Amino acid sequence: MTAAAAFFYLFASITVASGFMVIASRNPVASVLFLILAFVNAAGLFVLMGAEFLAMILVVVYVGAVAVLFLFVVMMLDVDFAELRQGFQQYLPVGALIGAIFLVELLLVVGSWSIDPGLVQAPLGNVASAENLTNAQALGRVIYTDYAYFFQLAGLILLVAMIGAIVLTLRDRPGVKRQNIAVQNARTQAMAVETRKVPSRQGVEV
Amino acid sequence: MTTVHSVLPSLAPLLPELILGVGVLLLILYGAWRGDRSAETVSIGALALLLVALSVVISQPVHGRITTLSGAFVSDSFSKVMKSLVLLGSAATILLAHDFFKRERIDRFEFPVLIVLCTIGMMVMVSANDLIALYLGLELQSLAAYVIAAFHRDDIKSTEAGLKYFVLGALSSGMLLYGASLIYGFTGTVSFPGIVSALNANAGLGIVLGIVFVAAGVCFKMSAVPFHMWTPDVYEGSPTPVTAFFATAPKMAAVSMTVRVFIGALPDVTAVWQQIFIFVSVVSMALGSFAAIGQSSIKRLMAYSSIANIGYALIGLACGSEEGISGLVTYMIIYLAMTLGSFAIILSLRRRNVMFEKIEDLSGLSRTHPWLAFCLAAMMFSLAGIPPLAGFFAKFYVFAAAIKAGLVTLAVIGVVTSVVGAYYYLRVVRIMYFDEPKEPYEAMAPGLRVVLALSSVVVVLFFLLPGPLVGAAGRAARSLF
């Protein structure tokens, strides 16, 4: 067994196990931590495939931002998870029925679909191109040429998200003290400091 | 290093979108600089941008199909007609909204900006020639729509409308995306012409599953039954000009997107999706007609009316033929005029700064405001499909196409449900003309007058000169086949 295969089985089994623990764990904080573990191991799988850019993005975006956001929400909101599970027994039959229908549909689809034998023979194939480009270079080449349109559209969508967040949440609150750096910098010694003679045993008016 | 493209793709077909995109950025900068005092100027600027884009769309010469940007963007007669409708709907919304927002004291410059951004999304949907462009356009449109539904953020109903629309919209986007990923997985391409050649006129089970999910996603965006549940609540809760917007421009875009996917990418597997749209069309017409009977709010009435109208329009798609699409486009043109006219009247029911939204508030309108009552009666007769008004011709063309395509039952069901629908449209007319009058309403704002006058002219005088509109619809349909 080569080292790559050994690492594949290591990462894959930890991903599956921690994926299971995400839903099995009783403590929501532990669930999120297992989710992070699953993400990190999935990133390891990407590295094995030669998709180092995806691996780093997975760590930065999902572990660094999304999972931490989950963690914050779970810790800051006082969600009673025991209460949320109250209806579990009640909804179980319906849920199981829908789940079974989807399972049958998926099996039918998979049954009607054969995997290309070329793919089966190279399960750990390297996705990097023959030109020896790094992932980031290969992505950069298409993202600013063939996919420039999509890239710009995605930018507009983010702009809408930003405007939307401001429109719906920003409120003018009267009486809030704000730092005004220009005024601070423009202060001279004469404006800030006052020198007074203090007569003995009398003090001064402040 | 030979694969790097040094040549810029042709941007000429993209000119209207570019004008809107650059213009909206300038408007945002101006608005951010001037603050909320700029609402009026930004509104005028946005209106001017939309009209400039409209004139560019109309004056652009069309030579068959032009694709650009690596085949993601297509420009043809169909996109020309549908983009004009989208731009007209958006421009009318800004006209309708201006006075309303000012009186409700929520006139902020972000509203016209979001309308223009939403319009860019809709134009991308209309011109989409692959699944990624389609999805990005849809998200741009939907995200802006969620925000403007909740634009009256201190009003609990508006907030509820925005939240409901957002949650259900995200769900439907997920379904659409899942279906798109199945289609991509089983064909290996996202471009519509690529899908046509990869399928080679036979659809496996995976493709069928993908088509079903995509159909569910687009039906939600068109508010067709059984994915209509959000419509009455969102229409009722949103500020009324926003409701007018939802009932017009995004409908045009959603219908064009559906046509692009099903006629553009899946034309050889019509048998698979035809049954879906026959079913959706029948249940939309039936539910829209029957559920509207018990409504007392005009906005909810218009919501059910729009559901029923989408049902009639989808008859054209269910035909899958050139006549069907031509009927569909004609239907959308006339539907736009009827809906904008109706909302212009709904928005003028204001007395001492209170808006009235109940059907009974219309009682005796014929004696207090004879012209208003006449126009609303024309809109209602037209929506009911009574000749010689435009609504009759809209229905006539789709029913004729259905009969030609052998879908006689569908046409018969359509006629029966329009008779049912006529009941509640005519009830509005009865209340206006035969009930006791109430206090008169305030005078109409100038923006409302413009929209009402234009749409009334189209609805009432369509039968004198149907040629240009029907001809444009015919050319649009021909460019797809």
> Measuring CA to CA, which residue among B309, B306, B319 is closest to residue B400?
B319
Out of A108, A153, A168, the one facing B147 most closely (by C-beta) is A168
Which residues in A lie closer than 8 A to residue B205 (C-beta atoms)? 108-109, 112-113
Query: In chain A, which residue's Cα lies nearest the Cα of B185?
Result: A113
Q: B349 at the A interface (CB within 8 A)? A: no
Q: B166 at the A interface (CB within 8 A)? A: no
DSSP label of A60: I
Query: In chain A, which residue's Cα lies nearest the Cα of B22?
Result: A156
Sign of CA dihedral B356, B145, B58, B479: negative
pLDDT at residue A49 in the model: 86
Which residues in A lie closer than 8 A to residue B136 (C-beta atoms)? 150, 153-154, 157
B250 prior amide bond cis, ω within 30: no
Nearby residues of B413 by Cβ (< 8 Å), 6 or more positions away: B282, B285, B286
Tell me the whole-structure pTM to 2 decimals. 0.87
The answer to whether the Cβ–Cβ distance between A159 and B117 falls below 8 Å is yes
C-alpha distances out from residue B79 to A6, B57, B148, B181, B329, Å: 54, 9, 25, 25, 11
Out of A148, A152, A167, the one facing B110 most closely (by C-beta) is A167
Quote the minimal CA–CA distance from B214 to chain A in Å. Answer: 16
Cα separation, B68 vs B145, in Å, equals 28
Q: How many CB pairs (< 8 A) connect A and B? A: 76
Q: What is the token pair recorded at B129?
A: 């020639």
ipTM of the complex: 0.91
pLDDT at residue B4 in the model: 47
Residue B355 β-bridge partners: B350
Which residues in A lie closer than 8 A to residue B21 (C-beta atoms)? 152, 156
Q: B42 at the A interface (CB within 8 A)? A: no
Helix H or strand E encompassing A29: helix A28-48
Q: A109 at the B interface (CB within 8 A)? A: yes
Residue A125 CB neighbour total at 10 angstroms = 11
Q: Which of A74-83, A170-179, B270-279 has the lowest mean pLDDT?
A: A74-83
The answer to whether the Cβ–Cβ distance between B117 and A163 falls below 8 Å is yes
pLDDT at residue A197 in the model: 84
**Residue pLDDT, tens place only, A15-40:** 999 999 998 888 888 888 999 999 99
**Which residue out of B68, B74, B143 would a mutagenesis test of the A interface target, given it has the greatest number of A Cβ atoms within 10 Å?**
B143
Helix H or strand E encompassing A104: helix A88-111
Q: A164 at the B interface (CB within 8 A)? A: yes
Query: In chain A, which residue's Cα lies nearest the Cα of B137?
Result: A153
- Say how far residue B266 (Cα) sits from the centre of its chain: 23
Cα separation, A107 vs A118, in Å, equals 22
Which residues in B lie closer than 8 A to residue A159 (C-beta atoms)? 28, 117
Cα separation, B75 vs B78, in Å, equals 8
Query: In chain B, which residue's Cα lies nearest the Cα of A150?
Result: B133
- Say how far residue B55 (Cα) sits from the centre of its chain: 20
The answer to whether the Cβ–Cβ distance between A166 and B110 falls below 8 Å is yes
> Measuring CA to CA, which residue among B113, B319, B148, B122 is closest to residue B221?
B122
pLDDT at residue A139 in the model: 85
Provide the percentage of residues in chain A whose pLDDT is more than 70: 86
Out of B3, B4, B143, the one facing A164 most closely (by C-beta) is B143
* CA–CA–CA angle B261, B263, B266 (5° rounding): 70
Crossing angle of helices B467-478/B322-346, nearest 10°?
130
The answer to whether the beta carbons of residues B478 and B77 sit under 8 Å apart is yes
Nearby residues of B437 by Cβ (< 8 Å), 6 or more positions away: B363, B364, B365, B366, B367, B368
pLDDT at residue B179 in the model: 94
pLDDT at residue A125 in the model: 44
Which residues in B lie closer than 8 A to residue A145 (C-beta atoms)? 4-5
Region A79-101 average pLDDT: 80
**Per-residue pLDDT of chain B in tens (481 residues, 90 and over written 9):** 444 445 677 888 899 999 999 999 999 999 999 887 888 999 999 999 999 999 999 998 887 888 888 889 999 999 999 999 999 999 999 999 988 998 888 888 999 999 999 999 999 999 999 999 999 999 999 999 999 999 998 899 999 999 999 999 999 999 999 999 999 988 889 999 999 998 887 778 888 989 999 999 999 999 998 999 999 999 999 999 999 999 999 999 999 999 999 999 998 888 889 999 999 999 999 999 999 988 999 999 999 999 999 999 999 999 989 999 999 999 999 999 999 999 999 999 888 888 888 888 888 888 888 999 999 999 999 999 998 899 999 999 999 999 999 999 999 999 999 999 999 899 999 999 998 888 888 888 888 999 999 999 999 999 988 888 999 999 999 999 8
Three-class SS string for A126-139?
Answer: CCCCCCCCCHHHHH
Q: A120 at the B interface (CB within 8 A)? A: no
The answer to whether the beta carbons of residues B181 and A199 sit under 8 Å apart is no
Where does the pLDDT of residue A120 fall: very low under 50, low under 70, confident under 90, or very high at 90 and above?
low
**Which residue out of A101, A102, A157, A162 would a mutagenesis test of the B interface target, given it has the greatest number of B Cβ atoms within 10 Å?**
A157
The answer to whether the Cβ–Cβ distance between A160 and B153 falls below 8 Å is no
Q: B69 at the A interface (CB within 8 A)? A: yes
Region A144-161 average pLDDT: 92
The answer to whether the Cβ–Cβ distance between B4 and A163 falls below 8 Å is no
Straight-line distance from the first to the last Cα atom of chain B, in angstroms, rounded to the nearest whole number? 39
DSSP label of A199: -
Query: In chain A, which residue's Cα lies nearest the Cα of B107?
Result: A167
Quote the minimal CA–CA distance from B299 to chain A in Å. Answer: 23
Q: B70 at the A interface (CB within 8 A)? A: yes
pLDDT at residue B190 in the model: 92
pLDDT at residue A117 in the model: 65
The answer to whether the Cβ–Cβ distance between A167 and B209 falls below 8 Å is no
Residue B68 β-bridge partners: B73
The answer to whether the Cβ–Cβ distance between B69 and A148 falls below 8 Å is yes
The answer to whether the beta carbons of residues B84 and B58 sit under 8 Å apart is yes
pLDDT at residue B112 in the model: 95
C-alpha distances out from residue B311 to A107, B167, B278, Å: 34, 24, 9
In chain A, count H helices and then E strands.
11, 0
Q: A118 at the B interface (CB within 8 A)? A: no
Three-class SS string for chain B?
Answer: CCCCCCCCCCCHHHHHHHHHHHHHHHHHHHHHHHHHHHHHHHHHHHHHHHHHHHHHHHHCCCCCCEEECCCCEEECHHHHHHHHHHHHHHHHHHHHHHHHHHHCCCCCCHHHHHHHHHHHHHHHHHCECEHHHHHHHHHHHHHHHHHHHCCCCCCHHHHHHHHHHHHHHHHHHHHHHHHHHHHHHHHCCCEHHHHHHHHCCCCCHHHHHHHHHHHHHHHHHHCCCCCCCHHHHHHHHCCHHHHHHHHCHHHHHHHHHHHHHHHHHCHHHHHHHHHHHHHHHHHHHHHHHHHCCCCCEHHHHHHHHHHHHHHHHHHHHHHCCHHHHHHHHHHHHHHHHHHHHHHHHHCCCEECCEECCEHHHHCCHHHHCHHHHHHHHHHHHHHHCCCCCHHHHHHHHHHHHHHHCCCHHHHHHHHHHHHHHHHHHHHHHHHHHHCCCCCCCCCCCHHHHHHHHHHHHHHHHHHHCCHHHHHHHHHHHHCCC
Cα Rg of chain B (Å, integer): 21
| φ/ψ bin of A177: left (φ > 0), alpha (ψ from -120 to 50), beta (otherwise) | beta
The answer to whether the Cβ–Cβ distance between B206 and A109 falls below 8 Å is yes
The answer to whether the Cβ–Cβ distance between B72 and A161 falls below 8 Å is no
Quote the minimal CA–CA distance from A201 to chain B in Å. Answer: 55
Query: In chain B, which residue's Cα lies nearest the Cα of A168?
Result: B153
| Environment class of B465 (CB within 10 Å of its CB; exposed 0-12, middle 13-18, buried 19+) | exposed
